[in-house]
């Protein structure tokens, strides 16, 4: 039997990158997948087609994850079309990297809103369904910089650190209803975003990683699959790094 057979997952920011890798892995393991991205563009359409190839039910939604009214409507539509929600992955995220002296208030607000407030909105939207069925898994995509901080990323680091505190709080609030909540803290993962970094920055990162290599989106997806499965039914309130030892 597949690890996520007959489960229904909602994933934000899944048209590309780590979110897409998680969506594909979930579908491969038997889950029905509803994913949300800002636009129903070429990437979202391609991801939707790839998910359909696994023979499970899937649907792409377009919407701003910082808009609670829009997200509540999407969650209601997921319930109507899929019948339930077993897994929520709060993966949507952006960066606006600058040193604090150059960071605008807008740079701060948009990163905190997309990365942290969206997790609040989505979790609030699904919790009543999970509480009612007395079962559910919530995964929040944090980062190693949310644990260690990073120069030039005060906004991003703060949002990711906030997700860890949010994770622990929700784990305590919903644990008695058999709803688990964990955070995943990726390190240097190869994505479109990291490939655009200067070569000297990439080289410097690799020197700091004990495994001397960058991670792949599939490495994060593998952990997300385990944590969403019944194999992890006694794990909650944790922030687990996928970083090749970078956090050490």
Greater pLDDT, 172 or 1 = 172
156 carries an active-site annotation: yes
Helix (H, G, I), strand (E, B) or coil at 208: helix
Delimit the domains of the chain by residue range. 8-188+217-241
220: nearest Cα among 88, 89, 39, 46 = 89
**Lowest model confidence (mean pLDDT) among 26-35, 70-79, 191-200, 215-224:** 191-200
Give the C-alpha separation, 209 to 195, whole Å. Answer: 17
| Rounded (to 5) percent helix, strand, coil in the chain | 50, 15, 35
pLDDT for residue 66 = 98
Q: Catalytic: which of 26, 61, 129, 156?
A: 156
Residue 226 pLDDT > 90: yes
* Class at the top of the CATH hierarchy for domain 8-188+217-241: alpha beta
> Which residue shows structure tokens 């539509």?
77
For 67-115, strand residue ranges (E) read 87-90
Question: Span 210-237, mean pLDDT?
Answer: 97
Which of 113, 88, 97 minimizes the C-alpha distance to 182? Answer: 88
DSSP 215: B
Global pTM reads 0.96
Average pLDDT over residues 219-238: 98
The pLDDT value given to residue 223: 98
What the block records as the tokens of 73 is 């409507």
Judged against a pLDDT cut of 90, whether residue 204 lies above it is answered with no
């Amino acid at each position: 039997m597949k690890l996520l057979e007959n489960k229904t997952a909602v994933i934000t920011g899944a048209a590309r990158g780590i979110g897409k890798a998680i969506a594909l892995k979930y579908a491969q393991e038997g889950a029905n997948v509803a994913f949300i991205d800002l636009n129903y563009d070429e990437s979202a359409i391609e991801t939707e087609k790839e998910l359909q190839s696994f023979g499970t039910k899937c649907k792409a939604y377009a919407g701003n994850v910082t808009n609670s009214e829009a997200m509540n409507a999407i969650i209601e539509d997921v319930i109507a079309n899929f019948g339930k929600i077993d897994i929520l992955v709060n993966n949507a995220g952006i960066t606006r990297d600058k040193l604090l002296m150059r960071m605008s208030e807008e740079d701060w607000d948009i990163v905190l809103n997309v990365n942290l407030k969206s997790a609040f909105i989505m979790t609030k939207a699904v919790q009543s369904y999970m509480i009612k069925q007395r079962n559910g898994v919530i995964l929040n995509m944090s980062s190693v910089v949310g644990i260690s901080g990073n120069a030039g990323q005060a906004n991003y680091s703060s949002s990711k650190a906030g997700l860890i505190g949010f994770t622990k709080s929700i784990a305590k609030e919903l644990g008695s209803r058999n709803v688990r909540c964990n955070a995943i803290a990726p390190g240097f993962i190869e994505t479109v975003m990291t490939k655009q970094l200067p070569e000297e920055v990439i080289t410097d990162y690799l020197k700091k990683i004990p495994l001397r290599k960058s991670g792949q989106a599939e490495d994060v997806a593998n952990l997300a699959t385990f944590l969403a499965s019944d194999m992890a039914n006694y794990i909650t309130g944790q922030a687990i790094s996928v970083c090749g030892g970078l956090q050490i």
